């Protein structure tokens, strides 16, 4: 008999105990204090100048948030101070923390960059903006092999656009005007705010656990996607992963609301920006199958990225293949600078035929997840989020070329999972759906 995935496990109970200590304020304090230390170390030691600039501002923002939580803990001991330590106050501190640790550094770096500081943006910002300019001028965001080869060797890396075509939309403002507000990061942030707000509104309108429990879980999920240093730093200095992550979280929220068609569209929009969303799409379609809505979810999840690819495919097929396939697989004119010392990279560089070994391990992990989906497709949004989170974590750790910043995906997905609990069982569509043949609905 398969264990009930909604029954609290020992790990779940431990997380709940930590998360709810002092009304959630204990973990808030740990988050902000630890983040302040991380930002301070980044400001002092990072070899990347945009990261150092972020750390200088963010350390003060995190410290301010930590002091606010200390004040909330003191107020919590007095009945008259309860409103200042409640959930609404925690939301307010989170908003201020995000504004001071992500949005303020982002705007500061955008303004400084517009004034001539070339060291105030990571390479992906330039790449996305150039992709937007090429899209308006040539109908495709990609340069072909010969065009990249003709660039000076120092510029060939920036000639590649290793994203899906939809990412070029964030570069369109720079194609129209040259100013701090046309920096791609500004538009990454606006899209992230809008999508996360929609995800939160979706969960608040979805039946589930008691309001305080759901609200606290949603807040923790939003913190993981915004003020956690790996997310705040990424948004302020590069930013392209945050809209993708936000769309994946929205898709899972829509799954919790039992809206498979809309969930498919949301994750499809993410997949039209970056390949990282495609594994999430596969798992979400597996969930939709248990709702007898697999086709509806798949149409959005895979249809939107395919439609986004068609114009680039028709304009210059070779350029699309060079950027989207050859370069990420290590067969471009230059290699990716993503070299974080995770197991896959260490195996690939330290062992004989290490890249083959790392690739085999990655394929094995993917095959194990595929078997799990086929034998026991997830029936709840919670299980779907957990499979996505652990699956992406395994992939990031085993990929020969990867970045530390990619960890924002599994962390945010795993912390988002508790906010999705409960709604699935109350869904009318789920209660009345016939049990698909061969599918174990207890998983």
The predicted model gives 128-146 an average pLDDT of: 95
pLDDT: which is higher, 62 or 208: 62
Closest C-alpha to 281, from 397, 188, 164: 164
For residue 46, give both structure tokens: 């990072």
Domain annotation covers residue 36? yes
| Structural domain of 380 | 121-432
Contact 161, 143 (CB under 8 A): yes
Cβ-proximal residues to 41 (8 Å cutoff; 6+ apart), any chain? 55
Q: Which of the 8 DSSP states describes residue 125?
A: H
Domain annotation covers residue 438? no
104 & 190 share domain: no
The per-residue pLDDT for 15 is 73
- pLDDT over 80 at 437, yes or no: no
In this predicted model, what pLDDT tens digit does every residue of 271-315 receive, in sequence order? 999 998 999 999 999 999 999 999 999 999 999 999 999 999 999
328 & 428 share domain: yes
The per-residue pLDDT for 423 is 57
In this predicted model, what pLDDT tens digit does every residue of 367-419 receive, in sequence order? 888 898 888 999 999 999 999 999 999 988 988 777 888 999 999 999 999 99
Domain annotation covers residue 12? no
- pLDDT over 50 at 265, yes or no: yes
The CA distance from 69 to 89, in Å, is 9
Domain annotation covers residue 313? yes
pLDDT: which is higher, 56 or 369: 56
63 & 184 share domain: no
- pLDDT over 60 at 440, yes or no: no
The predicted model gives 11-24 an average pLDDT of: 77
Q: Which of 120, 138, 162 is the last residue of a domain?
A: 120
The CA distance from 232 to 255, in Å, is 26
Q: Which of 86, 120, 154 is the last residue of a domain?
A: 120
DSSP H helical ranges for 325-427: 343-350, 354-375, 381-398, 408-416, 423-426
69 & 132 share domain: no
234 & 209 share domain: yes
The predicted model gives 185-201 an average pLDDT of: 97
210 & 317 share domain: yes
95 & 132 share domain: no
Domain annotation covers residue 3? no
Cα-trace Rg, the chain: 22
Record the pTM: 0.90
131 & 172 share domain: yes
Q: Which of 72, 95, 120 is the last residue of a domain?
A: 120
Mean pLDDT over all residues of the chain?
A: 88
The CA distance from 222 to 95, in Å, is 10
Number of domains observed in the structure of the chain: 2
170 & 110 share domain: no
317 & 419 share domain: yes
The per-residue pLDDT for 340 is 73
- pLDDT over 80 at 71, yes or no: yes
111 & 132 share domain: no
Domain annotation covers residue 209? yes
The per-residue pLDDT for 6 is 44
Domain annotation covers residue 102? yes
Q: How many CA atoms lie within 13 A of 329 on its CB side?
A: 8
The predicted model gives 326-332 an average pLDDT of: 81
- pLDDT over 80 at 261, yes or no: yes
The per-residue pLDDT for 76 is 84
77 & 160 share domain: no
In this predicted model, what pLDDT tens digit does every residue of 341-358 receive, in sequence order? 778 778 877 778 777 887
The per-residue pLDDT for 80 is 61
The CA distance from 352 to 341, in Å, is 17
pLDDT-derived band of residue 433, with 50, 70 and 90 as boundaries? Answer: very low
The per-residue pLDDT for 353 is 76
pLDDT-derived band of residue 108, with 50, 70 and 90 as boundaries? Answer: very high
Residue 315 has a CB neighbour count (10 Å cut-off) of 15
The DSSP string of 144-185 is -HHHHHTS-GGGHHHH---S-GGGGGGGHHHHH--SGGGSHH
| Residue 435: C-alpha distances to residues 173, 305, 430 (Å) | 49, 30, 9
Domain annotation covers residue 14? no
Residue 278 has a CB neighbour count (10 Å cut-off) of 16
The CA distance from 268 to 274, in Å, is 10
Q: Which of the 8 DSSP states describes residue 142?
A: -
How much of the chain exceeds pLDDT 70, in percent? 90
Closest C-alpha to 379, from 4, 10, 1: 4
The DSSP string of 197-262 is HHHHHHHHTS--S-HHHHHHHHHHHHHHHHTSHHHHHHHHHT-THHHHHHHHHHHHHHHHTT-HHH
């Amino acid at each position: 008999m398969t264990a009930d995935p909604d029954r609290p496990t020992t790990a779940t109970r431990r997380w709940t105990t930590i998360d709810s200590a002092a009304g959630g304020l204990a973990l808030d304090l740990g988050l902000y204090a630890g983040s302040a230390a991380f930002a301070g170390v980044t400001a002092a030691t990072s070899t990347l100048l945009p990261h150092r600039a972020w750390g200088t501002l963010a350390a003060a923002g995190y410290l301010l948030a930590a002091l606010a939580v200390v004040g909330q803990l003191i107020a919590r001991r007095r009945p008259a101070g309860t409103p200042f330590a409640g959930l609404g106050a925690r939301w307010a501190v989170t908003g201020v923390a995000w504004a001071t640790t992500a949005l303020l550094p982002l705007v500061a770096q955008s303004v400084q960059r517009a004034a001539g500081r070339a060291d105030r943006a990571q390479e992906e910002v330039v790449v996305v903006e150039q992709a937007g300019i090429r899209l308006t001028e040539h109908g495709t965001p990609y340069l072909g092999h010969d065009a990249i080869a003709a660039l000076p060797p120092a510029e060939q890396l920036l000639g590649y656009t290793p994203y899906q075509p939809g990412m070029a939309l964030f570069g369109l403002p720079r194609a129209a005007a040259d100013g701090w507000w046309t920096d791609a990061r500004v538009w990454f942030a606006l899209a992230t705010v809008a999508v996360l707000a929609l995800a939160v509104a979706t969960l608040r309108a979805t039946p589930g656990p008691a309001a305080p429990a759901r609200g606290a879980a949603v807040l923790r999920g939003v913190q993981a996607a915004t003020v956690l240093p790996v997310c705040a730093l990424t948004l302020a200095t590069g930013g392209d992963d945050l809209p993708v992550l936000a769309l994946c979280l929205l898709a899972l929220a829509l799954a919790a609301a039992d809206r498979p068609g809309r969930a498919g569209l949301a994750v499809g929009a993410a997949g039209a920006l970056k390949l990282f969303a495609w594994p999430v799409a596969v798992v979400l379609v597996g969930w939709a199958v248990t709702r007898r809505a697999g086709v509806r979810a798949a149409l959005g999840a895979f249809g939107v990225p395919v439609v986004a690819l068609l114009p680039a495919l028709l304009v210059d097929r070779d350029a699309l293949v060079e950027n989207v396939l050859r370069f990420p697989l290590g067969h471009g004119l230059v290699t990716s600078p993503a070299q974080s010392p995770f197991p896959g990279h260490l195996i690939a560089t330290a062992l004989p035929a290490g890249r083959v070994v790392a690739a085999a391990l990655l394929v094995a992990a993917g095959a194990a997840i595929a078997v799990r989906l086929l034998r026991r497709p997830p029936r709840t949004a919670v299980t779907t989020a957990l499979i996505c989170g652990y699956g992406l974590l395994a992939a990031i750790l085993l990929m020969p070329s990867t970045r530390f910043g990619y960890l924002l995906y599994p962390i945010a997905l795993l912390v988002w999972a508790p906010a999705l609990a409960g709604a699935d069982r109350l869904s009318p569509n789920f209660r009345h759906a016939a049990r698909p043949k061969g599918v174990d609905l207890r998983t």
